[in-house]
Structure 1
């Protein structure tokens, strides 16, 4: 990657992580996307998108808390592919979006924003039931669940 492009990716990633961290402490609310009031995992990414990019690229249809439990299409991965740029997991940088499978072999149905702690280890900024928006270490258990890595478009 050319140095100028690398600097652009880093600057955009720093902005996305800074915005995402402003959401930490937002309570978990299914289908919500309002900093401070409530968000689910997708709502966090949608809210950060609006703060960084403006209008969302597509309308999100209503979904239940247990959507895709019984199988079906990879809705979350397909939406990421339509609206974000795919990157190899080993090339993912802070500010990139990670789409995760909650169970091995299951559909991808969780999403978070890759961060980096002051100690240099990777983190995941995400929202989940019972915890709200948090920043967690990207442990091996979370790493195994990554189904795709994506970057906001330029």
Structure 2
């Protein structure tokens, strides 16, 4: 991941917003700061806060939605609506798409951030914990499939 000094103003604004979600309980299919969110709900809520209306309607999904179909729906949607970033160019505020299993489909989302000491972290909604900021340990980092950036904020 990029050095902490390689952050942009827009990326920092996303990190500030994402940190305001910390402590939001984990609620499957929810995207309401303070009330409940899953990992996709965190991303959707940040989109609404930064850009306004969501770019597409999200159909209902089960907690194990990706386990049976095998399709890369999350990656496909990210490629449609976000800007792809080469992993070495990742900055705070970028969207991380991860696989939870080595051979599984990409089904987890986090926001790249940095601690005050400059260590990479990930803000994400995690079942059983809610929205948290976790160190981006090698175990998490190896699960990253692609990195994306929010399009520019609308004024």
**Corresponding residue of 2:54:** 56
Structure 1's unaligned 5+ residue stretches are: 1-6
**Corresponding residue of 1:40:** 38
**Corresponding residue of 2:145:** 147
CA apart distance, 1:72: 2.0
Structure 2's unaligned 5+ residue stretches are: 1-5
Q: How does 1:56-95 map to 2 (within 5 A)?
A: 56-95=54-93
* Structure 1 residue 17 corresponds to structure 2 residue 50: no
CA apart distance, 1:101: 0.1
Q: Distance in 2 between matches of 1:90 and 1:98?
A: 13
Q: Distance in 1 between matches of 2:69 and 2:119?
A: 33
The total of aligned residue pairs comes to 147
Q: Distance in 2 between matches of 1:109 and 1:125?
A: 15
Contact 1:71-1:107 within 8 A present in 2 as well: no
Contact 1:41-1:127 within 8 A present in 2 as well: yes
What is the CA RMSD across the aligned residues, in angstroms?
Answer: 1.1
**Corresponding residue of 1:114:** 112
Match of 2:101 among 100, 103, 128: 103
**Corresponding residue of 2:29:** 31
CA apart distance, 1:153: 1.0
Q: Distance in 2 between matches of 1:130 and 1:60?
A: 23
